[in-house]
Amino acid sequence: MSSAPRFRPKPVADAIVDRWWIDFAICRGKYDLFFEPFGERPGPRRRREAQAKLLCAQCPVQMNCLEAGRRNHESGLWGGETEEERVRAGFPPRANVRRDLVAARRERSSDTDHDRPDGEAA
């Protein structure tokens, strides 16, 4: 009989407070794929993130992880979503020091400005 924990889905909202789902993460021990090493160039980053997303696509707790990444304003790749994608979705990391994150935040900000009824910039 296997000693691995048995996966039982719980509501996604629980993921924010309760990290029970981490026991079912299939990325355990592969964290280098999910967080940017210092000085990483765009090409290697794209390849690393593509590999991470392949894992996330098979993960039984992907939605819990994605929601936790958004709600906790995490950095790195969570639930198959990169930092840039989270910024565009309106969930920026607490500290954004990368130039492309700043650009994604500006892009989101200008998209939001277009949505304002008075048409004025924020």
Residue numbers of the site for ligand SF4 (CB under 6 A)? 25-27, 34, 55-56, 59, 61-62, 65, 78-80
The nearer residue to ligand SF4, 30 or 106, going by C-beta atoms, is 30
The nearer residue to ligand SF4, 23 or 107, going by C-beta atoms, is 23
The nearer residue to ligand SF4, 8 or 99, going by C-beta atoms, is 8
Distances from the Cα of 21 to the Cαs of 89, 97, 102, 117, 119, in angstroms? 23, 29, 31, 41, 43
Query: Cβ 82 to ligand SF4, closest distance in Å?
Result: 11
Bridge partners of 78, per DSSP, are: 81
Burial bucket for residue 120 (CB in 10 Å: 0-12, 13-18, 19+): exposed
Query: Cβ 20 to ligand SF4, closest distance in Å?
Result: 12
